Structure 1
Amino acid sequence: MTTAATTNVTEIDFYYWPTPNGQKVAILLEETGVTYQIHPVDIGKGVQLTADFEKISPNNRMPAIVDRQLDASVFESGAILLHLAERTGQFIPATPNGRVEVLQLLFWQMGGLGPILGQTVFFRTYASEQLPLAIERFTREAGRLYGVLNKRLADREYIAGEYSIADMAVYPWVTQHAAQGIAMDRFPNVARWLERVAERPAVKRAYALAEAVRPAQLTDEHRKQLYAQKQPTV
């Protein structure tokens, strides 16, 4: 799946940590073959809150990139996927109809699936106290979103027809289905799609990268920083 023109992109600085949002960008970089350099941003140590990183990512979140050819930084994982897909001419359609198909699903992940699944994992696993109402509410909504995805995949191999940045955006979140309380036997089309994406060589390389960067285990201090940190205010 390509756009009308292909640009030779090199010199990408990739500010990364192996979260679902970080993995989206890692997958695309590996799929496109772009030359990039990793700069680990250990969010468990609060590196994302430093003044130097804030210059690149004003929201104090990773991932982020610096496109050296354009002398431009980009934050927000969806924006990075779109930027790199357009710059490389890969994994986004050239036709208006195809482009709309991919973009609406990319924004569905960014605005709905990702936030809901993130909150589901938080309340089920990491919250300092168990809140049954929150757990039930987010788990139910997670199941509804999986149902949307399952219907979407009933008659196609990939979310937007051909493999695209929409798949890359959704995949790292759905791999965490067990932590979200989702039984995959309820969603057979999603299960087949997960297996299909997991077998892609670039996806395997992206997850090997995660294992190389990830700490052996999360400490209590990591968890405190990840889920209870006080963010700077303006």
Structure 2
Amino acid sequence: MTDINALPISQKWPAQDAEVLQLYSLPTPNGVKVSIMLEETGLAYEPHRVGFDTNDQMSPEFLSLNPNNKIPAIIDPKGPGGKPLPLFESGAILIYLAEKTGKFMSQDPALRYQTIQWVMFQMGGIGPMFGQLGFFNKFAGKEYEDKRPLQRYVDESKRLLGVLENQLTGQQWIMGDDYSIADIATFPWVRNLVGFYEAGELVGFSDFPNVQRVLNAFLARPAVEKGLKIPS
């Protein structure tokens, strides 16, 4: 097995324990998906902070792991065939960890693909749309005189919340009674929308009681509470 400390990324973030999974991340909505999943599964891992304030994500070492310069990314020293597996994209990492551990994704083929479809719903809809709304509501976009871009993302975020609201009606989690990677992918973004992005009133969050209920249940999980703070 290749020693992961021989890999380029380890020049900047050396592994203290090269036998455990290495996480390169920040506590953003995408980043905490993986730290929460790792806490939920109980897999041993070592977190490394990729600081945006110091442009760590643009360093040659990080780009050797993720050429798209985004967090999170992992290296599993005990990947398929016992070989190190580098992996980026939070959705892909969630699916990999679910399959590696046999947790938080059904083994039934139909339910497995239905779970993946909701992860893709988050990746292709909730994440990008909520992120754009955050830009136009809280960051540089709020200075734009033309408010049509903001309204576009408000309307689309409301629509997506409505889809989620309908899915959660009469059931505990996105996939029914079973907590899954679909929830782990989705609710960090819902939390960010109404918290950090300060957009709860804009999207009429009170109109989505099932989303509120499941968000609260998600945040009450000990592994979620811990994962939201990793890397510190």
Q: Matched residues, percent identical?
A: 41
1: CA distance, partners of 2:204 / 2:218: 19
Runs of 4+ in 1 over 4 A off after TM superposition: none
1:80 to 72, 93, 115: 93
Q: TM-score, normalised by structure 2?
A: 0.84
**One-letter code aligned to 1:205:** K
Question: Secondary structure of the residue that 1:45 maps to in structure 2?
Answer: coil
1: CA distance, partners of 2:140 / 2:150: 10
Which structure 2 residue ranges, 5 or more long, are not aligned?
A: 1-18
Asked if 1:150 corresponds to 2:165, the answer is yes
1:194 to 179, 203, 215: 215
Residue 100 (structure 1) shift: 1.6
**CA displacement 1:188-225 (0-9 Å, x = unmatched):** 00010011111111011112436xx2xxxxxxxxxxxx
**One-letter code aligned to 1:160:** M
Question: Secondary structure of the residue that 1:57 maps to in structure 2?
Answer: coil
1:42 to 47, 51, 58: 51
Q: Would you say the 8 A contact 1:177–1:183 is kept in 2?
A: no
1:175 to 188, 191, 195: 191
Q: Which residue of 1 aligns with 2:41?
A: 32
**One-letter code aligned to 2:174:** I
Give the stretch that moved more between structures: 125-134 or 52-61. Answer: 125-134
2: CA distance, partners of 1:20 / 1:11: 23
Residue 185 (structure 1) shift: 1.3
Which structure 1 residue ranges, 5 or more long, are not aligned?
A: 1-9, 214-234
1: CA distance, partners of 2:47 / 2:193: 27
2: CA distance, partners of 1:116 / 1:177: 10
Residue 32 (structure 1) shift: 0.2
Q: Which residue of 2 aligns with 1:123?
A: 136
Residue 176 (structure 1) shift: 2.0
2: CA distance, partners of 1:196 / 1:66: 30
